[in-house]
């Protein structure tokens, strides 16, 4: 089995994954209680799916009792530019690095399936199940248990050889593979990720209140954003990379293997004026194959209007005016807020 594991790791890296680790399905016994506390506090906001199937999410052994191993794989998407530079361009929109290229769900899942098929070719009597952020699987704790990295003070997974720009995929299997040693935190006294957060979304180290997180507010949150938080969004229109970008461990991060994940630059810093004019059809066409398409035109337009309101550029009022008559009340509210901000009311 050790030879099989070594060969599997070599195949996974040849296929494009940056790292691979293995853990047992029962390797994260503390996850269930931590998840329950997070949900009980209401810090998950509108993400009601976190409260669903909590027995599966908190206990991977319940998800598939026959599984003997969890193969965790990391795929780097380290940017080739400074992701915070766009914040100094108020007339342009800030889009999280992970969403600037091809939808990672599609890219990573295809690669995971290829690795899984290879494993079954060596162990045809066994079974696998492949997961990429689409099932009740707590990838980050499993990634730490498999030795890929540790959950930093910003709650994201980071590694000494990966930084924190990487996607996670999981292969549950009935193959009994030797587990790797779990990783421990190497954050030390650093608080860079906590200090940079514009909205104070971290009540403390290793704790996140999603209700104040810009990634949550611009992607998951439905309806109007709290008016007190809107100015703090700046020009971020889809996600936020601040806490990831300042992590000092990124200096050791490897480059992305698949350039599709980085995109061609189209979504790096788009003009707000252009985005505000997109019809529903134009929105779907422009963001075809991108995770941005998932939130729909109205939620995206809400974010763009908040960014315009924060731009300080009165000339952008021309792009706001048409949306004062939008059928969607949230978009209409965002337009009214943007107009008021730009007029100084």
- The pLDDT assigned to 222 comes to 97
- The pLDDT assigned to 19 comes to 96
Looking at every residue in the chain, the average pLDDT score rounds to: 95
- pTM (predicted TM-score): 0.94
Of residues 52 and 79, more confidence is placed in 79
- Of 45-54, 91-100, 276-285, the poorest mean pLDDT is in 45-54
Instruction: Give the model's confidence band at 14: pLDDT under 50 very low, under 70 low, under 90 confident, else very high.
Output: very high
- The pLDDT assigned to 52 comes to 79
Percent above pLDDT 70 for the chain: 99
Average pLDDT over every residue of 115-144: 94
Average pLDDT over every residue of 130-145: 92
Average pLDDT over every residue of 275-298: 97
Average pLDDT over every residue of 264-281: 96
Instruction: Give the model's confidence band at 56: pLDDT under 50 very low, under 70 low, under 90 confident, else very high.
Output: confident
Instruction: Give the model's confidence band at 294: pLDDT under 50 very low, under 70 low, under 90 confident, else very high.
Output: very high
- Residues whose CB is less than 8 angstroms from the CB of residue 259 and which lie 6 or more positions away in sequence, other chains included: 101
- The pLDDT assigned to 134 comes to 76
Given a cut of 90, is residue 338 above it in pLDDT? yes
Given a cut of 70, is residue 1 above it in pLDDT? no
Q: Give the domains, in start order, of the chain with CATH numbers.
A: 2-79+102-173 (3.40.109), 192-247+262-343 (no CATH)
- Of 47-51, 198-202, 303-307, the poorest mean pLDDT is in 47-51
Percent above pLDDT 90 for the chain: 88
Average pLDDT over every residue of 10-18: 96
195 is catalytic: no
Per the DSSP assignment, residues forming a β-bridge with 166 are 76
Instruction: Give the model's confidence band at 344: pLDDT under 50 very low, under 70 low, under 90 confident, else very high.
Output: confident
Given a cut of 90, is residue 54 above it in pLDDT? no
Catalytic hit among 133, 176, 258, 328? 133
């Amino acid at each position: 089995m050790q030879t099989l594991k070594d060969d599997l790791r070599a195949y996974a890296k040849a296929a494009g994954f940056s790292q691979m680790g293995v853990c047992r399905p029962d390797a994260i016994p503390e996850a269930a209680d931590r998840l329950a506390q997070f949900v009980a506090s209401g810090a998950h906001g509108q993400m009601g799916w976190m409260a669903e199937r909590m027995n599966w999410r908190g206990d991977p052994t319940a998800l598939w009792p026959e599984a003997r191993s969890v193969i965790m794989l990391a795929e780097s998407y380290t940017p080739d530019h400074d992701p915070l530079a766009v914040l100094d361009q108020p007339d342009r929109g800030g889009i999280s690095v992970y969403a600037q290229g091809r939808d990672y769900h599609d890219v990573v899942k295809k690669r995971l399936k290829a690795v899984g098929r290879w494993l079954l070719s060596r162990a045809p009597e066994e079974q696998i199940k492949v997961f990429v952020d689409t099932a009740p699987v707590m990838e980050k704790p499993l990634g730490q248990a498999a030795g890929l990295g540790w959950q930093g003070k910003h709650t994201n997974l980071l590694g000494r050889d990966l930084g924190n720009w990487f996607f996670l995929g999981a292969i549950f299997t009935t193959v009994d593979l030797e587990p790797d040693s779990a990783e421990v935190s190497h954050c030390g006294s650093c608080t860079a990720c906590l200090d940079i957060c514009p909205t104070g979304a971290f009540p403390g180290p290793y704790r996140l209140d999603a209700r104040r997180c810009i990634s949550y507010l611009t992607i998951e949150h439905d309806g109007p954003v709290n008016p007190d938080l809107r100015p703090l969004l700046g020009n971020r229109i889809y996600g936020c990379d601040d806490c990831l970008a300042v992590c000092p461990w990124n200096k050791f991060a490897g480059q992305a293997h698949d350039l599709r994940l980085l995109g061609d630059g189209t979504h790096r810093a788009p003009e707000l004026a252009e985005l505000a004019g997109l019809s529903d059809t134009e929105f779907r066409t422009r963001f075809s194959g991108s995770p941005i398409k998932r939130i729909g035109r109205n939620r995206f337009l809400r974010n763009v209007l908040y960014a315009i309101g924060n731009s300080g550029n009165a000339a952008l009022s021309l792009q706001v005016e048409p949306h004062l008559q939008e059928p969607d009340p949230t978009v209409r509210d965002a337009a009214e807020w943007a107009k008021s901000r730009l007029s100084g009311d």
